[in-house]
Amino acid sequence: MDRLLRFLLKTFIRRGTFQVTTSRGTVLTFGDGTGRKVAVRFATRAAEWGILLDPELKFGEAYMDGDFVVEEGTIADVLAVMLGQNTDVPHWAKFQGLLRYLYRRFDQFNPRARSRRNVAHHYDLDGRLYSLFLDADRQYSCAYFERPDQSLDDAQLAKKRHLAAKLVLRPENSDHDMRVLDIGSGWGGLGLYLAEFAVADVTGVTLSQEQHGISNARAAEKGLSKHARFNLQDYRDIATTFDRIVSVGMFEHVGVNHYDQFFRKSAKLLDRDGVMLLHSIGRSEGPSRTSPWIAKYIFPGGYIPSLSEVLPAIERAGLLVTDIEILRLHYAETLKAWRERFLAHLEEVERIYDKRFVRMWEFYLAAAEMSFREQNLMVFHIQLTKRQGVVPITRDYILREEQRLRSAEMKRFEPLRLAGE
C-alpha cells in the first residue's frame, strides 16, 4: 500500500512541500520543496484506500471522520497545495469525474419539493451557527472589498451598495417607488437595505423557514414591514410583475436543467422598463460538475455554472445583457474571513453539533476559499433588461449612485459622540 501511495501521489503533487505519514508509519515527501511545509498522517488503511479510489469524495470524509490528520499546517494549507497543482483532480480519478459529469443533470433536477429539501439541508441549520461567522447583517454571499484592509462587515455593506446602484432604483422618469423582487432573499439583509436606503418596495422570496421567520422579524424591528415583506415561496409560483429583480447567491441552486425556466420566468415577472441583476458564483472555464463531497454534505442539488451555460438561456428568454462584471478574489477574501471567524468559535459550534460537524464545516470553508484562490472560480454580475435604453449607456452612474447611497448610510449610522462633544 505504501508503494502505491508513493507512486500515485508523486504523479499528482509536483508543487509545494507535502509530507505524508502512512498508517504503517512510513514517511513520504512530495513536491518541489517550495512554499510552506504541510504534514499529514493517515490514521487508517481504509482512509488510504478511500482517497486513492475516490479522492473527490473520500478525502473530505476522511478528514471529517478524523482518519486524515493534519500535523503541520492547517487543512486550508493542505488544500492550497492540492488545489494548486496543474490539475483539479488526480489523473486516476478523471474517469470518475467524467461519469459524474454525465450524471449531473439527474443530480441537478430540482422540482419544487426537492428544492425545498435541498434548501432546508443547508439553510435551516441552527441559527446560532451562522451568527458565529457571518457579518452582523448575515450576508451569506460574496462581499465586495473596495480596499484590501476593509473589514468583512464594511465589505458586505459595500456589496449591497454596489448591487443597489446597478439596479438603477432612481430613474429620472419614475413617479413611484420601485417594486423589487429579491429571489432567494436570505436573512433579508439586501431587501431591508433596498427598502431603507433606496426607498424601494421589496418582496423577498425564500424556501428556508428559518430565513423566512428571521427576515420578517427584522423588517418589523426596523419598522419596514410595509416596505419589505418576505414570503416562503418558490419563485416559480410568483404571479405579479416587478420593476426590478435581484437574485444573489440563489442561482447556484437552480440546476443546469432549469436555466431556461429561471430566465423565462424572470422575463415574465420583469416589467417592460425593468432591470434585473443576477449575482452568482461561476466558472472561468467551461461546464463541469459539482464536487461529490459538496453535493453530499453541503449543497445537494447545487451547481456552479459557466457563462457559456448561462448566456444562451438568457438569449432564449428574450432578455438583453446590458452589463457583466467579474469579481475574482473577492469571494476568496470573504471565505477567509468566514473561516477565521468560524475557527475562533470552534468550541461553541461543537456544543451546538459535534466534532465531526466542526471538521466538515472547516473543510467546506477551506476548500471553497482555495477553489477561488487556486482554481477557476469567480463571481459574476449580469445586468439584464427587456429593451435598449433602460439603463445609462456608460457605467459612471454606478459610482454616482454608490456615492449617494454612502451619504444616506452615513446619515443613518452617525458616529457616536461622547458627552460634551
Residue in 281, 332, 324 with CA at minimum distance from that of residue 302:
281
Confidence bin at 117 (pLDDT 50/70/90): confident
pLDDT one-digit tens code per residue, 177-218: 899 999 999 999 999 999 999 999 999 999 999 999 999 999
Mean pLDDT of 310-329: 97
How far apart, in whole angstroms, are the C-alpha atoms of residue 18 and residue 195? 51
What local confidence, expressed as pLDDT, does residue 417 receive? Answer: 47
Q: Selecting from 2.50.20, 3.30.1050, 1.10.287, 1.10.405, what CATH number does the domain 2-94 have? A: 3.30.1050
**Is residue 38 scored above 70 in pLDDT?**
yes
Alpha helices in 16-172 (DSSP H): 45-53, 55-65, 75-83, 94-107, 112-123, 127-133, 152-166
Mean pLDDT of 357-374: 96
What local confidence, expressed as pLDDT, does residue 204 receive? Answer: 98
**Is residue 120 scored above 50 in pLDDT?**
yes
What are the CA-CA distances from residue 291 to residues 118, 236, 298, 359 (Å)?
Answer: 16, 27, 10, 17
Confidence bin at 301 (pLDDT 50/70/90): confident
Residue with grid cell 472555464, as numbered in its chain: 285
Instruction: Look up residue 126 and give its amino acid.
Output: D
What local confidence, expressed as pLDDT, does residue 323 receive? Answer: 98
How far apart, in whole angstroms, are the C-alpha atoms of residue 99 and residue 170? 49
Residues 6+ apart with CB under 8 A from 400: none
How far apart, in whole angstroms, are the C-alpha atoms of residue 39 and residue 18? 6
Residue with grid cell 483532480, as numbered in its chain: 89
What local confidence, expressed as pLDDT, does residue 90 receive? Answer: 66
Q: 326: which 3 cell numbers? A: 467579474
- φ, ψ (nearest 5 deg) of residue 275: -130, 135
What are the CA-CA distances from residue 267 to residues 199, 214, 238, 264, 385 (Å)?
Answer: 24, 29, 12, 5, 9
How far apart, in whole angstroms, are the C-alpha atoms of residue 135 and residue 187? 12
CB 236 within 8 A of CB 261: yes
How far apart, in whole angstroms, are the C-alpha atoms of residue 118 and residue 394? 40
Q: Out of 36-40, 113-117, 392-396, which region has the weakest mean confidence (pLDDT)?
A: 113-117
Residue in 168, 239, 164, 173 with CA at minimum distance from that of residue 195:
164
What are the CA-CA distances from residue 217 to residues 228, 230, 232, 309, 393 (Å)?
Answer: 11, 10, 14, 37, 39
What local confidence, expressed as pLDDT, does residue 154 receive? Answer: 97
Eight-state DSSP code of residue 3: H
Q: ∠ CA 353-339-38 to the nearest 5 degrees?
A: 105
Q: 273: which 3 cell numbers? A: 422598463
What are the CA-CA distances from residue 186 to residues 130, 212, 334 (Å)?
Answer: 12, 8, 17
**Is residue 8 scored above 90 in pLDDT?**
no
Residue in 238, 369, 265 with CA at minimum distance from that of residue 229:
238
What local confidence, expressed as pLDDT, does residue 86 receive? Answer: 75
How far apart, in whole angstroms, are the C-alpha atoms of residue 9 and residue 15? 11
Residues 6+ apart with CB under 8 A from 420: none
The crossing angle, in degrees rounded to 10, of helices 209-221 and 112-123 is: 70
What local confidence, expressed as pLDDT, does residue 173 receive? Answer: 58
Mean pLDDT of 370-383: 95
What local confidence, expressed as pLDDT, does residue 420 receive? Answer: 45
pLDDT one-digit tens code per residue, 229-241: 999 999 999 999 9
Residues in the chain: 421
Domain boundaries, the chain: 2-94, 112-412
What local confidence, expressed as pLDDT, does residue 278 receive? Answer: 98
Structural Rg of the chain based on CA atoms? 23
Beta bridge partners of residue 30, listed in sequence order: 18
CATH superfamily of 112-412: Vaccinia Virus protein VP39 (3.40.50.150)
- φ, ψ (nearest 5 deg) of residue 236: -70, -15
Mean pLDDT of 324-330: 97
What local confidence, expressed as pLDDT, does residue 119 receive? Answer: 76
Instruction: Look up residue 98 and give its amino acid.
Output: L
- φ, ψ (nearest 5 deg) of residue 323: -165, 140
User: Average pLDDT, whole number, for the chain?
Assistant: 91
How far apart, in whole angstroms, are the C-alpha atoms of residue 314 and residue 267? 9
